[in-house]
Amino acid sequence: QKEVEQNSGPLSVPEGAIASLNCTYSDRGSQSFFWYRQYSGKSPELIMFIYSNGDKEDGRFTAQLNKASQYVSLLIRDSQPSDSATYLCAVNEGRTGNQFYFGTGTSLTVIP
Amino acid sequence: EPEVTQTPSHQVTQMGQEVILRCVPISNHLYFYWYRQILGQKVEFLVSFYNNEISEKSEIFDDQFSVERPDGSNFTLKIRSTKLEDSAMYFCASTLGTHNQPQHFGDGTRLSIL
């Protein structure tokens, strides 16, 4: 089984700061990369997805992908207390690419 | 906004019993998934399903597990003879297309094995 690694944290940032979350993956064949947010006791909620090298921005969120380094990151600008959650990185794998592996998640706390 | 619906929200079952978890994916979605998350651990892929057959499955998805789309709207996960270690949150997800489409998750079913 291939691996998806995340720093479990906890990561604490003050309100208004930039939070940087990182993820590495082991399968060079992976093509699709997702960031989910999960509040305690709730289901994962999609934040961003990225397929091509480079940056992808959506509001306060920017996903960055570097396939050569097998690295994907999520930047959250102007962090808000409501951003406090666990952030999950997910990567596709498998013969059809239709198998998905999640990292253990990074716990983010935004301090007011 | 369309949602993935899972029932029941909580299922309590005696060890050794069969359990069926139910999901109604978003209506025009074509790919369906089951995941589990043991308390405090990561989300684990179980199986993906497309065109009425399993597309991929993980090592966790052994012979005690099966999936079915019995009527064109429901997508079920059956665990034949439950074990204590099957206690977890089970999430269903669906996508419109294949791996490059974002998955929409249901709220999950908490399965407790006694």
pLDDT in tens, B58-112: 999 999 999 999 887 899 999 999 999 999 999 999 998 876 788 899 999 999 9
Is A91 within 8 Å of A100 (Cβ atoms)?
yes
One-letter amino acid for residue B97 of the chain: G
CB of B10 within 8 Å of a chain A CB? The answer is no
What pLDDT does A33 receive?
94
What pLDDT does A2 receive?
67
Cβ distance B42 to A51 less than 8 Å, yes or no, reads: no
Cα-only R_g, chain B: 13
Output the furthest CA–CA distance in chain B (Å, rounded): 39
Euclidean distance between CA atoms B42 and A88, whole angstroms = 9
Write the residue in B41, B45, B108 that is nearest to A99 by C-beta.
B45
Mean per-residue pLDDT, B19-42: 95
Residues of chain A falling short of pLDDT 70: 1-2
Mean per-residue pLDDT, B5-28: 96
Query: Which residue of chain B is at minimal alpha-carbon distance from A33?
Result: B100
E-only strand ranges, A1-112: 4-6, 11-14, 19-25, 33-38, 45-50, 54-58, 61-66, 71-76, 85-93, 99-102, 106-111
CB-count burial class (<10 Å; 0-12, 13-18, 19+) for A111: exposed
CB of B31 within 8 Å of a chain A CB? The answer is yes
Euclidean distance between CA atoms A71 and B105, whole angstroms = 25
* Residue numbers in A near B109 (CB within 8 A): none
